[in-house]
């Protein structure tokens, strides 16, 4: 099949590649760039395990073609840590036992990062709404909510320096 050149930035790193137009962004991230933190849990855009940030907005990367993301900036879970410092959301998931098998975790974390950029002080209800597109089979969500609340607190305390993630500096 014919291949199309694309250029995009992933976790601040520029990449160029030639891909089939039908290649999903999630496969590009996982199989071409070998960033396997982004997972695949379904084939109907239901589970959110594949969630990444595309120009700062959370998207299910199983439902985006790599060619659509041409020229865009992608952020995956691997890009959250800065100078050996975990992102507050990562820290929150560890502190509050917000993960068990860890399979949904990268997607959950990316969704939470996006939420806290928009809403630094979400209520429990708002958090639950924000992660409603991310399925977790292990945790029962209570500790995920707590993890995000932990991150929100931490980010408010240390704002504005580390709030959110800088896209592609």
> Which of the choices ligand FES, another protein, none does residue 142 contact, using the CB cut-off of 5 to 8 A by kind?
another protein
Looking at residues 61 to 100 of the shown chain, list those that interact with another protein (rule: CB under 8 A).
76-78, 80-81, 86, 90-91, 93-95, 97, 99-100
47 lines the binding site for ligand FES (CB under 6 A): yes
CB 106 within 8 A of CB 49: yes
* Closer residue to ligand FES, CB minimum distance, 14 or 102: 102
CA angle 11, 16, 18 (to 5 degrees): 130
Handedness of CA 125, 87, 106, 73 (dihedral sign): positive
Name which of 32 and 40 has its Cβ closer to ligand FES.
40
Do 35 and 10 touch, CB atoms closer than 8 A? Answer: yes
Task: Confirm or reject binding of residue 57 to another protein (CB under 8 A).
Answer: no
Q: Is residue 49 within the footprint of another protein (CB under 8 A)?
A: yes
Q: Is 4 strand, coil or helix?
A: strand
Asked whether position 60 contacts ligand FES by CB under 6 A, the answer is yes
**Per CB under 8 A, does 132 bind another protein?**
yes
104 part of the interface to ligand FES, by CB under 6 A: yes
131-160: burial string, b at 16+ Cβ within 10 Å, e else: beebbbeebebebbbbbbbbbbebbeeeee
Q: How far is Cα 75 from Cα 31, in angstroms, rounded to an integer?
A: 16
Instruction: List strand residue ranges (DSSP E) for the chain, in order.
Output: 4-10, 13-19, 51-54, 57-60, 73-75
Contact set with another protein (CB under 8 A): 20, 22-23, 27, 30-31, 34-44, 46-47, 49, 76-78, 80-81, 86, 90-91, 93-95, 97, 99-106, 109, 124, 127-129, 131-145
- Positions touching ligand FES (CB under 6 A) are 40-42, 45-50, 60, 62, 99-105, 136-139
């Amino acid at each position: 099949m014919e291949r199309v050149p694309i250029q995009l930035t992933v976790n601040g790193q520029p990449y160029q590649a030639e891909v089939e137009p039908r290649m999903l962004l999630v496969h590009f991230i996982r199989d071409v760039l070998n960033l396997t933190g982004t997972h695949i849990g379904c084939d109907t855009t239901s589970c959110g395990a594949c969630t990444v940030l595309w120009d700062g907005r959370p998207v299910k990367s199983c439902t985006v073609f790599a060619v659509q993301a041409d020229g865009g900036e992608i952020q995956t879970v691997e890009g959250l840590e800065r100078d050996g410092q975990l992102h507050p959301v990562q820290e929150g998931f560890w502190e509050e036992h917000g993960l068990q098998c860890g399979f949904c975790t990268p997607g959950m974390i990316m969704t939470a990062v996006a939420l806290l950029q928009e809403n630094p002080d979400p209520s429990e209800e708002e958090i639950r709404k924000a992660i409603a597109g991310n399925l977790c089979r292990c945790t029962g969500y209570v500790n995920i909510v707590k993890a995000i609340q932990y991150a929100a607190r931490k980010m408010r305390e240390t704002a504005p320096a580390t709030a959110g993630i800088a896209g592609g500096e």
